[in-house]
Chain A
Amino acid sequence: MNASTATGGTRKTVRAHQAQDSVDGSAKPVSYREALRAALREALIKDERVFIMGEDIGRYGGCYAVTLGLLEEFGPERIRDTPLSESAFVGAGIGAALAGMRPIVEIMTVNFSLLALDQILNNAATLLHMSGGQLNVPLVIRMTTGAGRQVAAQHSHSLEGWYAHIPGLRIVAPATLEDARGMIWTALQDPDPVLIFEHGGLYNTSGTLSPDAGPVDIDTAAIRRPGNDVTLITYGGTLPKTLAAADQLAADGISAEVVDLRTLRPLDDATILASVRRTHRVVIADEGWRSGSLSAEVSARITEQAFYDLDAPVERVCTAEVPIPYAWHLEEAALPQPATIADAARKAVG
């Protein structure tokens, strides 16, 4: 039990403590957000080099309330609200990592990360190689991604595929409570920069999380639902939709296997290809725009390495190549949905 060191925390934050304590108590329902918060608390407690920087993560408690209560517990030195200067505070995170700290930088959403892309690409991803192995950057950056909440084009991008293009970065997408709870500590142990993409639609999902849930690996994909007629490959926020699609397909007698990529760089080819070799048909559901998307890379690897196992062309269900519209019915039509994923699977099974 944590001794609450709330210093002037408002009633709202205090109550938040109780809710989050359930993570340490018995396996009461827990939200994705609370699982992340438990992971951050664990890291802050176990390693004093860890500190968190980001816009409104302290007093405000985090735009998505992930860091609620941490300022009261760990103080302003280690829970640092920053001005709206993405390039500066992400670069500062890199500098502090170079100097031996273990910073966790929260960029409010992937949409604002574009302002820090130069620091992430030209410094974080490049320094180790360019310095001939001298400069490790043990930095973790978390950012919210994805659409589906009617916040329109500038707040609804899904650009993890861009970042997965960059050698020197590791890119992960926790879609389940176990991964939300377990990926942060593993990422912090990695001497190289790890970017964690949390889909905005997942924060409110909840379920039971075993009390001793701890760190998980960030190297392999996972089979969330075994099947043998078609392989549905997806990640992050699209996993729930893909599982729903698999249910619809089961009703039609089509047994769909759902593969959750979990790591977008490096891709776990072995698990992907083993599944494709069993089912011979593939649908990839990716919220990125189709052209040059991560789904294009996964599809290319499948045709390169499992060509003789394909009984139908690889199907891809991606976001329509439009700026995400505000109107609900347009946004819903633009995004991958269980129905469109299921249709693609039926087309593949034929």
Chain B
Amino acid sequence: MTRQKQHEADPREPAGGEATHRRELLREMLRIRRFEERCVELYSATKIRGFLHLYIGEEAVAVGVCQALTPADPVVATYREHGHALARGVSMESLMAEMFAKVTGCSRGRGGSMHIFDTQRRFYGGNAIVGGGLPLAVGMALADKMRAIESVTACFFGDGAVAEGEFHECMNLAALWDLPLLFCCENNLYAMGTALERAQAETDLAARAGSYGMVSWPVDGMDVTAVEHAARRAAEAVRGGGGPHFLELRTYRFRAHSMYDPDRYRDKAEIERWRSRDPISMLTAQLKQDGQLTDHDLEVFEKEIAAEIAQAIDVAEAADFEPLEDLTKFVYSPRQT
């Protein structure tokens, strides 16, 4: 049972006019897409090591939700976090350097792709334990509420996390304590190799969220405008003290779970069906149809993005590794003498 809310005029429509804003959404999604595609090459060239989980196909979710957040709103994501990091303004250079394990990386080369952190942008990034970030988000929302700070803590997690006990504990705690928390469940239908219906008795996640007495909506995660719209309404309610909200963002990843995954558990037809609703191509088509985008615009975007990526790689290549003597630094804080 999903409670549909009528669409009221949203007082805080994005400034700068409709067209410019929609082009900006497209550019942001394209920027994430090209960054991830370049990561695939870098990984096969062994420049990027370890685990790498790509966001290709789900760009609309990160870009759409982040439109509703202020720079001061804390964001907690998961190991599939490049899209969220870029959408929240973490510099491409520090992201690339981190995956090159360089000391100029946002986590000094210690976290890698799965552990991106940037306190300047209140991006409490990556957590490689499924559902591990949810309690942190609860705590941050609690802290802001206790200090009467009007913020929204956005917590991104996948459908896999819904199976973790921690998820249920956090949903209940957030609802019980009426915390300013926006749960963003990126339901891409697969927890690594396990399809949702093979993991959950009830697959309507938005309905399940309602059972905690929490406002929850399903959202088409492939339509960036729909995502933005839902995120803005939810964030506004949360910021206004309306308690936690839950968005079930129905989306799909076009590539395997990670670089190691032969992706045998999904049939090609399903992947094609979802590819036909690629958030970038859909928005491009609409913009062209509405005469708000020219091929030239696209060329400019592609050139700028390619240059930004190339620059990020050069900087990462040239950067230094963290000196060995720092190995034990930051295990504990320096003693205040």
Complex A–B touching at CB under 8 A: yes
Q: CB of A197 within 8 A of chain B?
A: no
- A87/B169 contact (C-beta < 8 A), A118-B129, A122-B129, A135-B119 known: yes
Give the most central of A78, A98, A167, A192: most B CB within 10 Å.
Answer: A98
Q: CB of B242 within 8 A of chain A?
A: no
Decide if A88 touches B138 in the complex (CB within 8 Å): yes
Decide if A132 touches B111 in the complex (CB within 8 Å): yes
Decide if A191 touches B331 in the complex (CB within 8 Å): no
Residues in chain A near residue B139, CB distance under 8 A: 91-99, 103
Q: Give the segment of A63-71, A123-131, A177-185 that binds chain B.
A: A123-131
Query: Distance in Å from the Cβ of A119 to the closest Cβ of chain B?
Result: 6
Decide if A85 touches B169 in the complex (CB within 8 Å): yes
Residues in chain A near residue B331, CB distance under 8 A: 128-129, 167-168
Q: CB of B184 within 8 A of chain A?
A: no
Decide if B74 touches A129 in the complex (CB within 8 Å): no
Residues in chain B near residue A128, CB distance under 8 A: 330-333
Query: Distance in Å from the Cβ of A56 to the closest Cβ of chain B?
Result: 15
Q: CB of A51 within 8 A of chain B?
A: yes
Size band of the interface chain A makes with B:
35 or more
Residues in chain A near residue B128, CB distance under 8 A: 122
Decide if B105 touches A91 in the complex (CB within 8 Å): no
Decide if A95 touches B330 in the complex (CB within 8 Å): no
Complex-state Cα separation, A122 to B135, whole angstroms? 12
Nearest neighbor of B172 in chain A, beta-carbon distance:
A83
Decide if B173 touches A129 in the complex (CB within 8 Å): no
Which residues between 115 and 167 of chain B lie within 8 Å of chain A, taking CB atoms?
A: 115, 117-119, 124, 127-129, 132, 134-144, 146-147, 165-166
Decide if A123 touches B140 in the complex (CB within 8 Å): no
Complex-state Cα separation, A17 to B275, whole angstroms? 67
Complex-state Cα separation, A307 to B138, whole angstroms? 50
Taking a contact as CB atoms closer than 8 A, the residue among A119, A167, A168 that contacts B135 in the complex is: A119
- A91/B330 contact (C-beta < 8 A), A98-B124, A135-B117 known: no
Decide if B132 touches A118 in the complex (CB within 8 Å): yes
Complex-state Cα separation, A134 to B98, whole angstroms? 14
Nearest neighbor of A93 in chain B, beta-carbon distance:
B139
Query: Distance in Å from the Cβ of A278 to the closest Cβ of chain B?
Result: 28
Decide if B172 touches A85 in the complex (CB within 8 Å): yes
- A191/B333 contact (C-beta < 8 A), A85-B169, A85-B173 known: yes
Decide if A95 touches B333 in the complex (CB within 8 Å): no
Query: Distance in Å from the Cβ of B270 to the closest Cβ of chain A?
Result: 33
Q: CB of B255 within 8 A of chain A?
A: no
Given A85-B173, A92-B136, A132-B105, 17 more contacts at CB 8 Å?
A82-B173, A87-B166, A88-B172, A90-B135, A91-B135, A91-B138, A95-B142, A97-B139, A99-B140, A101-B147, A128-B332, A132-B107, A132-B108, A132-B109, A134-B119, A136-B333, A167-B331
Using CB atoms and an 8 Å cutoff, list the residues of chain A in contact with chain B. 51, 77-78, 80, 82-83, 85, 87-101, 103, 118-119, 122-123, 127-136, 167-168, 170, 190-192
Subset of 27 A-B contacts with CB under 8 Å: A78-B146, A83-B169, A83-B172, A83-B176, A85-B173, A88-B169, A91-B135, A91-B136, A91-B139, A94-B135, A96-B139, A99-B139, A100-B143, A101-B147, A118-B129, A122-B127, A128-B332, A129-B110, A130-B110, A130-B115, A130-B117, A131-B110, A131-B111, A132-B117, A132-B330, A135-B117, A168-B331
